Amino acid sequence: MVLLYYQIKKKTQNSINIYPFSHWFSFVTFCLLNTGLALFSINPVFCQNGLLEKTITIPSQRTTLYEALNLISQKADCLFIYDSETVENDKRVRLYANNQPLGEVLEKLLSNPALGYKLLGKHILIYNKNDRTPETELQPSVPQTDTTKNVVIKGHVFDNVNKTAIPFATIGIVEENLGAITNNDGFFSIKIPVSRIGTSLIVSHLGYISQRIPVQLLQEQQVDFYLNRRVISIQEVIIRYIDPKEIIAKAMDQRKFNYAVDPVYLTAFYREGVQKNEKYISYSEAVFKVYKSPWNTGEQSDQVKLLKSRKIQDSNPRDTVFLKLKAGVQSALQLDLVKNVPGFIDLAPPVEYTYTYSDLISYQAKDAYAITFVQNDHLKKALYSGTLYVETASFAILGADFEINPKYLDIAAEELVLKKSPKVKVKLEKITYSVSYMPFNGRYYLRHARCEIKLKTRLKHRLFTDHFTTFLELATCNIDTTAVVKFPKQETLKPNVVFSDQPYIVNDDFWDDVNIIKPEVKLEEALARIAGKIEEMTNDK
């Protein structure tokens, strides 16, 4: 069993900003895990005078530095990249330009001898000269001939309007099938081979305009991306009736063209965690090599090979909750709704859902139909409600966000909870799922899958309840289509294995060059405290 108890404090990180930036229930037979439960005097070292000499006009106004640079970027058609704490985003400044060159406007707006800047295309990177030297500014951080090395880029992805974090955004190099996913705080860390330093990093998310930034400019930086929401103009939409069932039927029919017909290897990062009253008591993560069979072969054909893993946990007998949920390593893989078809995209009679065409949206830089679904009113069982995203051009299923109907969570609990102490009352509060796919060589592959369960427990004869959150999450980091064969049986994980029950390997240089989902900020702090306690216990022995 697993337990939790640490007090967690909010942690802030230095960052660099970029402006502007226009599961099943049966639960797929499984669902979750075992629980007990990163201004300046103008000092261009490398620049393109054409941009700096471009004239702009902006009415006199008092505003924040954030808004001032955002406005300048729109007027001059450029992108600023800078450390938000160094530049002080919320600092009040006076902005004024009357047909003046960009460089001159910047000189008047910003003044700090410790800071310099450089240009690359339309990008203007503001940096601390004490941290960087001119000679190395645009050079790889490691020799380019050493293809085994990586450059690391860290940062956050935010909404440009309200500055809220965007979780589950994709950051990667599409041409190299290389990527990472932001966590719930919008934070990411991605490792890119130095041989690919001349490529561009693409940041994308549902409903936002994707951004492409040169890796050369971002290497070894902490950067913050501010994405603009994408609005599809009425001219782009043909005014006609759209039958949502017809779209889903077409998507199902097109699976043979849109998804893998040959097996592939996926290198996937997996993590699972347990929270009690917003304090983490368990966190596990691993890298799998997945033998992913074609879409039409059934999930029994998929295999999982554990490459490396680790966990950190803490327990307190007073916090123990004797409760176990259905789980398994392959739970996340079984969220592949193209292979393991759930009822809401299976239109074979009897149809249990009502469908509505809700919108035409942008999903990872592709136009997509958003189809909402809810279970039919007369059905008194735990089914789903949510949104399915289907690409308009190819009718590929790009992803889905859905949950168990809140009305019938008590029924869901009967199938989900394997065992519990008779002294404990359990009530499910919410069960949500998110699944998405990524394109590679003309086909789509599972990109990201997440399941999260919120529940509360109460010991009999006690007034107070405890709130638990438990999740599992998988993200594809790399796709390999070369010489794909099944793993020897002795090397694979058992399909129903509870990951957090297994022994783990701990290594300081643990993840090597594997891209992972970073822990949330507050989780990172909690884990640090738990790790420190474990170290103390080790030293006492």
Q: For 132-186, what is each residue's pLDDT tens digit? A: 543 344 444 433 444 457 888 888 888 888 888 888 888 888 666 777 888 888 8
pLDDT, residue 433, reads 93
pLDDT, residue 437, reads 93
Q: Are residues 102 and 176 in the same domain?
A: yes
pLDDT, residue 118, reads 74
pLDDT, residue 43, reads 40
| Mean pLDDT of the 68-80 span | 85
**198 pLDDT above the threshold of 70:** yes
| Mean pLDDT of the 458-487 span | 86
Q: For 377-395, what is each residue's pLDDT tens digit? A: 999 888 999 999 999 999 9
Mean pLDDT of the chain: 75
Q: Are residues 197 and 251 in the same domain?
A: no
Domain boundary among the residues 452, 471, 489 is at 489
Q: What is the rounded distance in angstroms from the CA atom of residue 41 to the CA atom of residue 107?
A: 6
Q: Are residues 100 and 207 in the same domain?
A: yes
Q: Which value, to the nearest 10 degrees, does the dihedral of the CA atoms of residues 489, 493, 496, 500 take? A: 170
Share of the chain above pLDDT 70, in %: 70
Instruction: Report DSSP state, residue 40.
Output: -
| Mean pLDDT of the 251-279 span | 89
pLDDT, residue 396, reads 96
**5 pLDDT above the threshold of 50:** no
Q: Are 438 and 322 in contact (CB under 8 A)?
A: no
Q: Are residues 148 and 259 in the same domain?
A: no
pLDDT, residue 466, reads 85
Q: Are residues 286 and 192 in the same domain?
A: no
Q: What is the rounded distance in angstroms from the CA atom of residue 400 to the CA atom of residue 417?
A: 25
**9 pLDDT above the threshold of 70:** no
DSSP secondary structure string, 368-398? EEEEEEEE-TT--S--EEEEEEEETTT--EE
Would you report the helix, strand and coil content of the chain in percent, each value rounded to 5?
20, 40, 40
Question: Would residue 211 count as lying in a domain?
Answer: yes
Q: What is the rounded distance in angstroms from the CA atom of residue 219 to the CA atom of residue 156?
A: 15
Predicted confidence band of residue 1 (pLDDT cuts 50, 70, 90):
very low
pLDDT, residue 53, reads 86
Exposed e or buried b per residue across 125-145, where buried means at least 16 C-beta atoms within 10 angstroms of its C-beta: bbbebeebeeeebeebebeee
Question: Would residue 29 count as lying in a domain?
Answer: no
pLDDT, residue 315, reads 53
Predicted confidence band of residue 306 (pLDDT cuts 50, 70, 90):
confident
Q: Are residues 408 and 447 in the same domain?
A: yes
Domain boundary among the residues 470, 489, 508 is at 489
**Among 20-24, 100-104, 267-271, which stretch is predicted with the lowest mean pLDDT?**
20-24
Domain boundary among the residues 489, 513, 536 is at 489
**253 pLDDT above the threshold of 80:** yes
pLDDT, residue 526, reads 53
Question: Would residue 6 count as lying in a domain?
Answer: no
- Residue 298's contacts (CB-CB under 8 Å, 6 or more residues apart) are 339, 340
Question: Would residue 133 count as lying in a domain?
Answer: yes
Q: Are residues 223 and 249 in the same domain?
A: no
Question: Would residue 19 count as lying in a domain?
Answer: no
CATH of the domain at 64: 2.60.40.1120
Q: Which residue has the higher pLDDT, 2 or 133?
A: 133
For residue 332 the two structure tokens come to: 């996340």
Q: Are residues 174 and 262 in the same domain?
A: no
Q: Which residue has the higher pLDDT, 143 or 431?
A: 431
**248 pLDDT above the threshold of 70:** yes
Q: Are residues 257 and 188 in the same domain?
A: no
**Amino acid (one-letter) located at 54:** K
Q: Are residues 315 and 254 in the same domain?
A: yes
Predicted confidence band of residue 325 (pLDDT cuts 50, 70, 90):
low
Q: Are 477 and 269 in contact (CB under 8 A)?
A: yes
**Among 99-113, 271-285, 332-346, 521-535, which stretch is predicted with the lowest mean pLDDT?**
521-535
Predicted confidence band of residue 10 (pLDDT cuts 50, 70, 90):
very low
pLDDT, residue 457, reads 83
Q: Are residues 348 and 308 in the same domain?
A: yes
Domain span including residue 425 = 244-489
Q: Are 32 and 472 in contact (CB under 8 A)?
A: yes
Number of domains in the chain: 2
| Mean pLDDT of the 449-467 span | 85
pLDDT, residue 258, reads 96
DSSP element (H, E) containing 296: none
**22 pLDDT above the threshold of 70:** no
pLDDT, residue 42, reads 34
Question: Would residue 74 count as lying in a domain?
Answer: yes
Q: 106: helix, coil or strand? A: helix
Q: Are residues 170 and 309 in the same domain?
A: no
Question: Would residue 502 count as lying in a domain?
Answer: no
- Residue 289's contacts (CB-CB under 8 Å, 6 or more residues apart) are 265, 266, 267, 268, 304, 305, 307, 487
Q: Are 346 and 363 in contact (CB under 8 A)?
A: no
pLDDT, residue 417, reads 65
Q: 496: helix, coil or strand? A: coil
Q: 234: helix, coil or strand? A: helix
- Length of the chain (residues): 541
Question: Would residue 23 count as lying in a domain?
Answer: no
Q: Nearest CA to 323 among 463, 495, 468, 502?
A: 468
pLDDT, residue 403, reads 95
pLDDT, residue 221, reads 67
**Among 49-63, 116-130, 189-203, which stretch is predicted with the lowest mean pLDDT?**
116-130
For residue 282 the two structure tokens come to: 């368990």
**474 pLDDT above the threshold of 80:** yes
**104 pLDDT above the threshold of 80:** yes
**Which of 3-7, 61-65, 256-260 tops mean pLDDT?**
256-260
pLDDT, residue 2, reads 29
pLDDT, residue 131, reads 64
Q: What is the 3-state secondary structure (H, E, C) of 235-253?
A: HHCCCCCCCHHHHHHHHHH
| Mean pLDDT of the 255-281 span | 87
